[in-house]
A and B are shown apart, each in its own frame.
Chain A
Amino acid sequence: MTMPVPEPIRETSHRPPPPRVTINADVVRTQPAASSSPDQSEASGLVASATVVPKNGNAVPTLAAKGLHAYFGSHPAVRDVSVDFRDREVTAIIGPSGCGKSTLLRCLNRMHETLPATRVEGAVLFRGTDIYAREVNPIALRRHVGMVFQRPTPFPTMSIRDNVAAGLRVRDGGEPPRAQTDAIVERALRRTALWDEVKDRLKQSAVTLSGGQQQRLCVARALATEPAVLLLDEPTASLDPLSTQKIEELVYELRSEVTLIIVTHNMQQAARVSDRTAFLLAGELVEISPTSELFTAPSDPRTEAYITGRFG
């Protein structure tokens, strides 16, 4: 096994709470009903209706990697990965440190190329269009595919309200009129269960919030632009257990509206929130299966070795 590019050591500052689902036991969660409800009532009327295609059916997967390679300089961090991310499901990506999970995630919204000396080969199809095609503008893409990072990053010079609305400023047509923006901000904050906590201090600086609240703020900020896909890169790694739980519940609830892909080094977290789980090792996709299957009866011996703790 070649030495992978070491990902920064992520400290888990908390012990994960006992999982609702134990690995190697039967998954009790059921898959929710097929299609999501159309239109949730909006004050802004800006958010369009959801798709009417049945979920696990033969829809074009929202996001699909095809033969994806990603390099840091000459070192391959992601090798020939092909995977479908199904519409409005939560897909978790797990694997040992340095296996390329974050790199893979960052390829999905073309953030990998923002680092120096990086290269991507292969294709990533967003609703059938290759986002790495020449005519595709990464800026436009990132408004459809949102991202939440490991450390909460509210913009320190902006108020809570302005933080949430930050993504709206750079959309086509500019920021919507104030009333609409306020409505969008409120909806985003409600979706992330933050509204009640901050509704009285929307004008205050975002850094006055606690770590968990800040991370939820970042999720709200990403949601404000109504992306079709939300990428989460170890979103609870720096949070306390209570905030972690809130974020996990949020992720689980959001999947009726948004396709979510979450990278986590915490297997129990993957087991709790995801519908499908992918296991990455040294840049290769070893296996992707429905979560219950992966954790109870993995098909690849390497997966089994990882989830039973023999390495990583």
Chain B
Amino acid sequence: MTSSVAPPTSDLTAPPGGLAARLEVAGVGDRIYTTVITGFAASIPLLLVFIAVAVGVAAWPALHQFGFSFLTSSTWDPVHGIFGAAPALYGTLVSSILALIIATPLAIGVAIYLSEFAPAWLRQPVSFLVDLLAAVPSVVYGLWGIFVLIPLLRDYVVPFFKDTLRLGSTPLFSGPSYGPSMLAAGIILAIMVLPYISAVSREVLLAVPRAQREAALALGATRWETIWGAVLPYARSGIIGGVILGLGRALGETMAVTMVIGNRHEISASLLAPGYTMASLIANQFTEATGDLHLSALMAVGFTLFVLTLIVNALARWLVWRVSRGPMP
């Protein structure tokens, strides 16, 4: 680089060199880069639109034919071409709610434990182990469910509920217990959903400012009273968001559920009876679908599932966003 008295202006504008250098001066590299990454980013909303279109188009024939009764009718008759998905919808909701009932107190309990009471050396290992539950593949849960959980339920737990606790006459526990059941599905879903609720709750609890806790303690509250009265209310919407997130996961879980729920197209009040969920219905019948209407009916179930989980997930994310750290969780 010369430092002569009158520097050529061109020194700053067009450096000598080949095409590459001149392109760089023109800012071409930057423009290409920005276009590419913007395109990649835009592919995500695009993907969602494509998914919606794909599922909607596939579902249209059945939806068009059956209309709203698709969701209210229980008749599933491939032979005569009548399809009603109410039992699947019922099963999805029941199994998911059951999972939430079991998992939520546990998850919040773990989250409170980890954020408040756990000794420092125990925090990382325990949170790691709980988070690892989310990494286990669904089919592995299903495998375990078939060969461990169901026999366990059948041989120990159900007799306990039915006979020892005398709940056998209640609608929830009536009927014979063959093995695969709504209860099994609910329990497995609870295990699968626990890490999600717990992770979100933990993050939200940790985000509560120390000042809140200290103010309560300074007033003479016990540890528990501090948590119940000062910390949890502050973190409430975030935790609810976490629970709804868990719900979203439970609604769509396919493999583990289809392996333990029995795949029976029936609405039953008893938790011990087999049933269906929307996801397991699709998975179970897809490879043996007879005819286009049958296929389309399955896709219509898929569409319902898609819309449901979309709403639930969007709601969950919005709630979590609002609380934990603003727009960047």
Contacts and interface: CB of A to CB of B under 8 A. Distances in A.
Interface of A: 47-51, 53, 59-60, 126-129, 131, 135-137, 139-141, 143-144, 172-173, 225-228
Given A48-B3, A137-B15, 19 more contacts: A48-B2, A60-B5, A127-B6, A127-B7, A128-B7, A129-B7, A129-B9, A131-B12, A137-B13, A137-B14, A139-B25, A140-B12, A140-B13, A144-B11, A144-B12, A173-B16, A173-B17, A225-B1, A228-B1
A139 B17 contact: no
A49 B2 CA distance: 7
Closest 10 CB pairs of A and B: A172-B15, A172-B17, A127-B7, A135-B13, A48-B2, A137-B25, A136-B12, A129-B9, A51-B3, A172-B21
A227 B24 CA distance: 20
9 contacts: A48-B1, A51-B5, A128-B6, A128-B7, A136-B12, A173-B16, A225-B1, A226-B1, A228-B1
B5 A53 contact: yes
Contacts of A143: 1
Contacts of B11: 140, 144
A172 B5 contact: no
B16 to A, nearest CB: 6
B15 A140 contact: yes
B4 interface: yes
Contacts of B24: 139
A144 B9 CA distance: 13
A270 to B, nearest CB: 26
A141 B5 contact: no
Contacts of B7: 127-129
A139 B27 CA distance: 9
Contacts of B13: 135-137, 140
Contacts of B9: 129
B17 A228 contact: no
A141 B12 contact: yes
Contacts of A48: 1-3
Nearest to A135: B13
Q: Binding site of A, secondary structure by majority: helix, strand, loop or mixed?
A: loop
Contacts of B1: 47-48, 143-144, 225-228
B1 to A, nearest CB: 5
Interface in B109-135: none
Contacts of A225: 1
Nearest to A48: B2
Nearest to A136: B12
Contacts of B14: 137
Interface string B274-300: 000000000000000000000000000
Contact of B25 (A49, A51, A131, A140): A140
Contacts of B16: 172-173
Interface centre among B4, B12, B16 (most CB of A within 10 A): B12
A137 B29 CA distance: 13
A172 to B, nearest CB: 4
A60 B6 CA distance: 9
B4 A51 contact: yes
Nearest to B16: A172
Nearest to B13: A135
Nearest to A47: B1
Nearest to B21: A172
A98 B14 CA distance: 36
Nearest to A134: B13
B195 to A, nearest CB: 33
A297 B1 CA distance: 40
A128 B7 CA distance: 8
Contacts of B27: 137
A310 B261 CA distance: 80
A135 B5 CA distance: 21
A53 B17 CA distance: 30
Contacts of B4: 51
Nearest to A257: B3
A131 B21 CA distance: 19
B23 to A, nearest CB: 12
Nearest to B17: A172
A111 to B, nearest CB: 15
A141 B27 CA distance: 14
Nearest to A173: B17
A177 B27 CA distance: 26
Nearest to A170: B24
Contacts of A51: 3-5
